[in-house]
Amino acid sequence: MGNLRETNPSLWVTTTPAESTFLPLDIGAGTQVDVAVVGAGIAGVVTAALLKASGATVALIEADEIGSGVTGYTTAKITSLHGLKYDSLAKANGDDAARAYGEANQAGLEQIASLIAAHRIDCDFSRRDAFTYTEQSAQVDAIAAEVETAQRLGLPASFTTDTDLPYDIAGAVRFSDQAQFHPRQFCLGLAATLPGAGSLVVERTRVTGIKEGSPCVVETEHGVLQAGQVVLTTHLPILDRGGFFAKCHPTRSYALAARLAGPVPKGMYLSVDTPSRSVRSAQGDELVVLGGESHKVGQDDDTRRRYADLEEWSLDRFDVVEQTHRWSAQDYVPVDGLPFVGRQLPGSKVFVATGFQKWGMSNGAAAGLIISDLVAGAENPWAATFDATRQRSTLGRDLVRENVNVGVRFVADRVARMRAPSVETLPPGQGAVVDIDGEKVAAYRRDDGTVCAVSAVCTHLDCIVAFNTAEKSWDCPCHGSRFTVEGKVIQGPALADLAPHEPQAGA
C-alpha cells in the first residue's frame, strides 16, 4: 500500500493500489537507455514523461513504489501561490528572479493539467482558487505588499477578504485558476504511459551508486544499467556531490483528513499566522485536508503533540464528524529561497532537482520542464534562476546558520549519547538511544516487550538519530535521513540501512 514503512499512511497512499505495478530491475537485462531518472515522485515522473515525449529512451527507477514517497504525503495543491513568497524573493534576488520563479511554477501547473488531459488520467484534478490569508490585522500590509508584487510580476493575484472558510479573515492574496488533485493517482497514471519503445519503469529497486562516464553506470541493489545521462529526483540528491545537504535543511509538517457535518471549503488556503494552517478539500469535496505544525526533522522530543495540536485546531474551527487519516511529510528548504534544478556540477552528466520548500507539485513539474530542456541541449527561460550550481547559494547568513545548527546537533547528540539511560527504562511502543551492555544504540521496545536495537549512527554522515514518537521512525536531525525501527531506510540522503546491534560475546 505505497510506502509500507510509514506508520501513518496518507489519504493518497491508502486510496491507491496496494501492490506494485512494475517489477524490480532485471539483473540480466543489460539495460541501456538515454536517460535514467532516479526517484518516481512528481518531479521524476514528469521529467521522464517529457524526456520520452522528446524521443529519448528513459528508465524511471523507484526505491519503493511510484508516488509513495514525499509526493504521496503532500497536501497536493498545484499552485504558484507559495505563501508570502514573491515580495521577499523580489527584494532579495530582484524582480527578474521572482518573475522567473512565478512563471516556472505557473508553467508547472499547466504542464500537469496538459499531461492529465493528454493521457486521460483519473486523479480528481479540479481548478480552484488559492489563498494566502491572515486573521490578524497586523499582517494585512504584508498581504497587500504580496498582491502588489505578484501583480507587477504578471501573476493572477488579487486582494480579498471573501473566502468560504468557516471563520473570518483580515485579508488574503488570491490567485485564480490554480488546481488540486490526487498526487499518487497522477503519478501512477503517468508512469503507466512510459514503458515500451526502449523505455521502462522499475519499482522496489534502490539505486546504491552512480559512476559518471560515457555512458554513466547506475548501480542498484538488483543489478546495473547504463545511461547517457542521469537525473536525480530523490527529494534530496542521493549523491553528496554538489553539497545540497548543506544548502537545504529538512523540515516535517503534519496533515489530517476529516469528514465534516457542514460544507467543505472549496478553495485552497494557507495562513501566514503562527502556527500556519493549510486547508483544501479532497475526494470530490467529501473530505477536508488540514495541515500545519512545521519543525526541523529530528529536533522535536515528542512529535505526537503536533497531531494533537492540529486536531485541537480542527475541532475548534470545523464541525468535524470523523477524522479519516493523518500523516506527515518531509520537505527541504533551500538557503536562498530558490530550488536547485540543473546539473549537479558544471559540465556533469548528472542532473538534480531539490529544495522545493513545501511546494513540490508545481516546482516538481517546473523542474521536469527545465531538466528535459537541458538534457536535450535546448534553451530554457528559467534555468539560470534555478541553476543548481549557482554560487549565491553558498553565501549568506542562512547557510551559516543552518550548518551551525547541524554542527551543534552533531556534538550535542554525541554528548547526550554518552549519558544514555539503560534499555530497561524503555517503555513499550517507545524508542530512544539507550545503553545495552555498555554500548549506546538506538532501541525500540515493541508492544510485546521485545527490543529491536540498531546502530544510532546515521549512515549518511554519522550524525546520531533521534526517535520520532508519532511516526515511530529513526530520524537524522542533521540532514533528514529516516529509518524504520528495524533500521531500514525510509528516505535519504542515506543509502545504507542502520546496522543491527549485535550483542557482545558473553553478554
pLDDT along the chain (507 residues), means of 10: 72 87 71 95 98 97 94 97 97 96 98 98 98 98 98 98 97 98 97 95 93 95 94 91 88 97 97 97 97 91 95 97 96 94 95 95 98 96 96 57 48 52 87 87 93 93 93 93 94 90 55
* Residue 194 near residue 200, CB atoms below 8 Å: yes
Domain ranges of the chain: 11-73+184-245+337-391, 402-491
| Torsion, CA 197, CA 199, CA 200, CA 206, rounded to 10 | 160
* Residue 355 near residue 247, CB atoms below 8 Å: yes
* Residue 207 near residue 219, CB atoms below 8 Å: yes
In the three-class reduction of DSSP (H, G, I as helix; E, B as strand; rest coil), residue 435 is classed as strand
The length of the chain in residues reads: 507
Q: What is the 3-class SS of 343-389, one letter each residue?
A: ECCCCCCEEEEECCCCCHHHHHHHHHHHHHHHHCCCCCCCHHHHECC
Label the pairing between strands 350-354 and 223-232.
parallel
Architecture of the domain whose range is 11-73+184-245+337-391? 3-Layer(bba) Sandwich (3.50)
Task: Give the domain 402-491 fold.
Answer: Rieske Iron-sulfur Protein (2.102.10)
* Residue 179 near residue 79, CB atoms below 8 Å: yes
Question: What pTM, to 2 d.p., does this model score?
Answer: 0.91
Radius of gyration of the chain (CA): 22
Give the sign of the dihedral formed by CA 384, CA 388, CA 391, CA 392: positive
What per-residue confidence (pLDDT) applies to 31? 83
What per-residue confidence (pLDDT) applies to 1? 40
What per-residue confidence (pLDDT) applies to 27? 57
Alpha-carbon gap, residue 322 to 260, rounded angstroms: 7
In the three-class reduction of DSSP (H, G, I as helix; E, B as strand; rest coil), residue 119 is classed as helix
What per-residue confidence (pLDDT) applies to 56? 97
H or E element that contains 126 = strand 126-134
What per-residue confidence (pLDDT) applies to 438? 81
Torsion angles phi and psi, residue 343, rounded to 5: -65, 140
